[in-house]
């Protein structure tokens, strides 16, 4: 068995004008600010892409949540249990990503 891992996440940052003292970059006349673009790859998406690219036979996502949720954080939130690939494809077609 060979374990291969991929990461992602974090807050997208961009260089900006000097910020308040102590920001770690002000001495160079530049600072980091939150970028206004979606520039971060999700860890799960990175792992899925890696699995696809290497032709993995299995993909295991280890997480601290009880289950995958649809409509997370809304009054319609519902958890998924065991699902088939067809059911997941349907959820993807319905806009869940």
Residues ≥6 apart with Cβ < 8 Å to 81: 67
Cα–Cα distance for residue pair 46/52, rounded to 1 Å: 10
In a 3-state reduction of DSSP, which class is residue 4? coil
Q: In this predicted structure, what is the pLDDT of residue 86?
A: 93
Q: In this predicted structure, what is the pLDDT of residue 66?
A: 84
Overall size of the chain counted in residues:
97
Query: Residue ranges of the domains in the chain?
Result: 1-61, 65-97
Q: In this predicted structure, what is the pLDDT of residue 37?
A: 62
Cα–Cα distance for residue pair 31/3, rounded to 1 Å: 37
Cα–Cα distance for residue pair 91/79, rounded to 1 Å: 13
Q: In this predicted structure, what is the pLDDT of residue 13?
A: 66
Q: pLDDT digit string (tens) for 31-76? A: 666 666 666 667 888 888 889 999 998 888 877 878 888 888 889 9
Kindly state the greatest CA–CA separation across the chain: 55
pLDDT at 5 > cutoff 60: yes
Per the confidence metrics, is the pTM higher than 0.75? Answer: no
**Residue range 89-93: average pLDDT?**
90
Alpha helix (H) ranges present in the chain?
43-54, 85-93
pLDDT at 87 > cutoff 80: yes
Q: pLDDT digit string (tens) for 24-40? A: 444 455 666 666 666 66
């Amino acid at each position: 068995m060979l374990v291969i891992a991929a990461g992602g996440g974090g807050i997208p940052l961009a260089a900006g004008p000097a910020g308040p003292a102590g920001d770690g970059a002000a001495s160079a006349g530049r600072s980091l600010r939150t970028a206004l673009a979606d520039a971060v790859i999700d860890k799960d998406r990175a792992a899925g892409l890696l699995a696809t690219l290497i032709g993995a036979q299995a993909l295991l996502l280890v997480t601290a949540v009880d289950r995958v949720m649809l409509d997370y954080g809304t009054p319609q939130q519902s958890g998924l249990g065991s699902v088939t690939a067809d059911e997941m494809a349907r959820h993807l077609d319905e806009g869940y990503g």
